[in-house]
């Protein structure tokens, strides 16, 4: 892992410590989170609170515990609205996996799905700057086709202490059409922005999310 990827990994973990959040939960709550996560791969959506109640004695409390650990976000009715890296919102990052369609919180999350679940995926998204279509065919940490000259950009300045990552930093983690576009985007705010080519972005995504999937395997 190169120095830039390692530094970004440590920085993101300090903002969104998913693995430590999972380890802080009771066995029952951790198992429920993993079911919420896997539901996106199995059904393209999260479990509802009523469906979660089949696995725990107090679904509302369990979901609150998991949300406090930053692993999920809840909607106004207390239903799961996202389990990192997935979201129930129709954002620009669409991932096809296991015969279903799911949406991801951000571009980094979309790149993480294939290595997390060790399944081939197809990502359809767009460049945040130009609007050009991004199409990436992925198999674990490698690529089998698509827009492979795309880059990944992150605006660290979007992170907010008083706002969940899904609604702050995740909104500023994006695909960029190519290196030229990426470097122009970076030049507009070099103090807060960072860019990675696609291979480095996948390394970053896998290093951040695969340990979460591994811990889920143990919690299941």
Average pLDDT over the chain, rounded to whole?
93
Let me know: does 86 contact 40? Beta carbons within 8 Å. Answer: yes
pLDDT of residue 22: 94
pLDDT digits (tens, 9 = 90+) for 101-160: 999 999 999 999 999 999 999 999 999 999 999 999 999 878 999 999 999 999 999 988
11-15, 98-102, 163-167: least confidently modelled range: 163-167
How far apart CA 8 and CA 166 sit, in angstroms, is 18
Give the model's pLDDT for residue 218: 57
Domains annotated on the chain, with CATH: 3-214 (3.30.450.410)
DSSP string, 51-101: HHTTTSS-HHHHHHHHHHTTSEEE-TTS-EEEETTEESS--S-EEEETTEE
Buried-state track 45-80, b at ≥16 Cβ within 10 A, e below 16 = bbbebeebbeebeebeebbebbbebbbbbbeeeebb
Task: Quote the pLDDT of residue 197.
Answer: 97
Question: What predicted TM-score, i.e. pTM, was given to this entire model?
Answer: 0.94
CA dist 156 and 92 (Å) reads 19
User: With contact defined as beta carbons under 8 Å apart, do 119 and 133 qualify?
Assistant: no
Q: What is the pLDDT of residues 29-57, one digit of tens each?
A: 999 999 999 999 999 999 999 999 999 99
The pair of structure tokens assigned to 93 is 């990052």
pLDDT-based confidence at 14, cuts 50/70/90?
very high
């Amino acid at each position: 892992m190169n120095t830039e990827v390692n530094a970004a990994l440590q920085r993101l973990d300090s903002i969104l410590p998913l693995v430590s959040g999972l380890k802080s939960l009771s066995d029952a709550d951790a198992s429920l989170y993993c079911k919420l996560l896997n539901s996106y791969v199995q059904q393209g959506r999260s479990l509802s609170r009523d469906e979660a109640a089949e696995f725990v004695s107090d679904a509302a409390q369990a979901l609150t515990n998991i949300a406090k650990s930053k692993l999920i976000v809840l909607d106004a009715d207390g239903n799961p609205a996202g389990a990192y890296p997935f979201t129930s919102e129709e954002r620009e990052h669409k991932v096809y996996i296991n015969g279903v369609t799911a949406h991801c919180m951000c571009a980094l999350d979309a790149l993480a799905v294939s290595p997390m679940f060790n399944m081939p995926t197809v990502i359809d998204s767009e460049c945040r700057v130009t609007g050009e279509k991004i199409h990436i065919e992925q198999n674990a940490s490698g690529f089998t086709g698509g827009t492979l000259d795309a880059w990944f950009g992150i605006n660290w300045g979007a992170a907010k202490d008083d706002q969940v990552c899904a609604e702050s930093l995740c909104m500023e983690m994006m695909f960029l059409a190519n290196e030229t576009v990426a470097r122009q985007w970076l030049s507009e705010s070099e103090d807060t922005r960072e860019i990675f080519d696609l291979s480095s972005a996948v390394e970053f995504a896998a290093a951040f999310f695969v340990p979460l999937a591994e811990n889920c395997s143990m919690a299941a």
